[in-house]
Amino acid sequence: MRRTSRRPDAPPRAALARLLAVPALLTGLAAAVAVAAEASHEVEGRRSGWLYNSPETQALQDDEFINPGMFAVERGRTLWSTPEGSAGKSCASCHEEGSMRGVAARYPVYDEKRGGLVDLTTRVNLMRTELMGAPALGYEAADMLAMTAYLGRESLGMPMQVAVDGPARPFFEEGRAFYFARRGQLNLSCAQCHDDLAGRKLRGDTISQGQINGFPIYRLLWRAMGSRHRMFEWCNTSLRAEPYPAGSREYLSLELYVAWRGRGLPIETPAVRR
Amino acid sequence: MRRGRAAVAGLALAALAAGGGAGAAELAPLTAQPGDPARGRDVVRDLTKATCLICHALPIPEEPNPGNIGPNLAGVGARFSAGELRARVVDATTINPNTVMPPYFRTEGLNRVLARWRGQTIYSAQEVEDVVAYLGTLRQP
């Protein structure tokens, strides 16, 4: 498989002192890689899920030759320039190489034409149905996850930065309300776990801050890639709460709030999670 | 006999609903049949019933990997009366409105419960009694 070594500019490094304070979990070269990565997984107290992973899972993510999510990225790279649909076009027919850099970091966005939020998945489907004459793909379709993984990878290292003002504001407020509302038979809100209990043990699992800078992720539990909305669905059903459909207004608004909550965290797609 | 048991449960729930806050810190038995601690020990480990081990350590040697979100429950039987333990298991929000501990015997006022579980409590009344009886045996800190 082709693996380009093209990596975006390294994110700003934290003070050397902080790097040295990191307990050495690994030795040798692996430690150097892990420590360099550590510098970019926390921004003003906002912490990537990477920091809550075991050293083994971290190493799996950091090495792009063994990261299982890289298969999806490579597949997406191929699809990018493969014509599909009745118009006989590929993404590359209209978009220049490198033009997608930074896009994933500012999604979801408010879309004038649709009068609502559009996430990366919906954007890809709009391209397919309106400009390519190709059918829409499901949220978790392998080729959709491949494309969103590729687009995410194009923003590797760039800080998540979503717009929440103007017409996006009502959606943002809805997402925030969702995040703080208790739900399900277990009667818990997202905030109770991911704000208040991050770092604590929920049985075998260490609870993270529930950040979305690594999506789509390769989740070992799923043995598959999964979208942000699939993760929301998983957390909802774990609480025995009725989930919303992927792509629903509720999950798009939640996604906007959660992306803002993690503002500044560098994109690390495809993240590997437990 | 049946009717009597239901009446006891009804009374206890009425006390809970009316009391709230500190008033509900103790709760009368939900069933006429006393709890069985051995059964309670199985119930608290049941993965399909939001096991207490997600959040609490318990003195159960076969369970070496509990969560650490709530306090260790070893010795809890010496710290609380059966009525106090029952109130916590039934609905811990009556003691701490912000608690993360799930309500094991409540169906009212919950938001978007999965269709499969709607209108059902996590524990049956008898399971609450079994668990309370088991917790009562945990007297060593």
| DSSP state, residue A198 | T
pLDDT tens profile A27-57: 444 444 444 444 489 999 999 999 999 999 9
Write the CB contacts of B3 (distance below 8 Å, at least 6 apart in sequence).
none
What is the structure's pLDDT at A194?
Answer: 98
**Enzyme catalytic residues of A:** 235
CB within 8 A of A88, min separation 6: which ones? Answer: none
Burial class (CB in 10 A: 0-12, 13-18, 19+), A21: exposed
Cβ contacts of A194 on chain B, cutoff 8 Å: none
- Mean pLDDT for the stretch of residues B78-103: 97
Question: Do A139 and A247 contact (CB within 8 A), yes or no?
Answer: yes
What would the pLDDT profile of A16-27 be if each residue is shown by its tens digit? Answer: 333 333 333 334
Question: Sorting pLDDT into bands at 50, 70 and 90, what band is B24?
Answer: low
% residues pLDDT > 70 (chain A): 86
CB contact under 8 A, B110 and A184: yes
Which of these ranges, A28-42, A153-167, B67-81, B105-119, has the smallest mean pLDDT?
Answer: A28-42
Q: Using CA atoms, how far apart are residues B54 and B70, in angstroms rounded to an integer? A: 9
Surface of B (15-74) touching A: CB under 8 A: 50-51, 53-55, 65-69
The structure tokens listed for A44 are 């003003």
Q: What is the mean pLDDT of residues A80-107?
A: 98
Contacts of the segment B56-61: beta carbons below 8 A, 24+ positions apart: B58/B138, B59/B138, B59/B140
Rounded-to-integer distance, Cα A104 and Cα A267, Å? 8
Partner residues linked to A43 by β-bridges: A46
User: Does ipTM surpass 0.90 in this model?
Assistant: no
Cα-based angle A247, A108, A198 (whole degrees, multiple of 5)? 90
Where do the H-state alpha helices sit in A195-243?
Answer: 228-238
**Residues A161 and A109 sit within 8 Å (Cβ to Cβ):** no
- How many Cα neighbours within 13 Å face the side chain of B122? 28
Residues of A in contact with B51 (CB under 8 A): 203
User: Residue B120: is its pLDDT beyond 60?
Assistant: yes
Which residue in B55, B68, B113 is closest to A240 by CB distance? B113
Q: Smallest CA–CA separation between B2 and chain A, in Å?
A: 28
Q: Taking residues B116-137, what's their average pLDDT?
A: 98
Which amino acid is located at B105 in the chain? F
- pLDDT for A165 beyond 70: yes
Distance, first Cα to last Cα, chain B: 38
**Which of A207, A157, A259 is CA-nearest to residue A52?**
A207
Asked whether the predicted pLDDT for residue A79 surpasses 70, the reply is yes
Which residues of chain B make contact with A187, given a CB cutoff of 8 A? Answer: 93, 102-103, 110-111
Interface probe with A: pick from B65, B69, B101, B122, most Cβ of A within 10 Å: B69
In this prediction, residues B17-35 reach a mean pLDDT of 73
Is residue B105 within 8 Å of residue B30, measured between CB atoms? yes
pTM of the model: 0.89
